[in-house]
């Protein structure tokens, strides 16, 4: 595992432990999805699957930017050839993202679509 990935994984796991200690379920859920994305980047698909499956099972409406959680799950499931789950997660991510865009001004929508790398990636996968 490369230095940057190892450091990111250590930091997300520290944050996971802290969020679990304080009972911040919505944070824990998002961080498990981020952990899955990092593990995927490290080539640890089985561990990545475990992380995103856990996140997907715990997701609730109070998870901040849950569309990104669904998109992270989609990427891991796609890499693991779980195509049906990946497609479902991508559809959900796009629906939630579209709902958020609907609350923004035209200028804010454009900025969100093009100025935020995670949003650009989500839209590119659509």
Task: Domains for the chain: give ranges and CATH numbers.
Answer: 3-125 (1.25.40)
pLDDT averaged over the chain? Answer: 94
Q: Which of 69, 18, 9 is nearest to 44 (CA)?
A: 9
The pLDDT assigned to 26 comes to: 82
Identify the band that residue 66 occupies on the pLDDT scale cut at 50, 70 and 90: very high
Q: How far apart, in whole angstroms, are the C-alpha atoms of residue 22 and residue 32?
A: 16
The pLDDT assigned to 3 comes to: 87
The pLDDT assigned to 85 comes to: 97
Q: Is the overall model pTM greater than 0.85, yes or no?
A: yes
Is the pLDDT assigned to residue 24 strictly greater than 90? Answer: no
């Amino acid at each position: 595992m490369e230095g940057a990935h190892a450091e990111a994984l250590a930091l997300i796991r520290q944050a996971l432990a802290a969020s679990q200690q304080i009972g911040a379920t919505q944070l824990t859920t998002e961080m498990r999805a981020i952990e899955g994305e990092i593990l995927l980047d490290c080539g640890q698909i089985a561990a990545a699957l475990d992380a995103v499956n856990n996140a997907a099972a715990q997701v609730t409406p109070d998870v901040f930017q849950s569309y990104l959680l669904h998109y992270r799950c989609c990427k891991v499931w796609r890499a693991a050839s779980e195509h049906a789950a990946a497609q479902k997660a991508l559809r959900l991510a796009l629906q939630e993202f579209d709902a958020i865009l609907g609350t923004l001004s035209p200028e804010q929508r454009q900025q969100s679509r093009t100025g935020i790398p995670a949003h650009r990636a989500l839209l590119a996968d659509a």
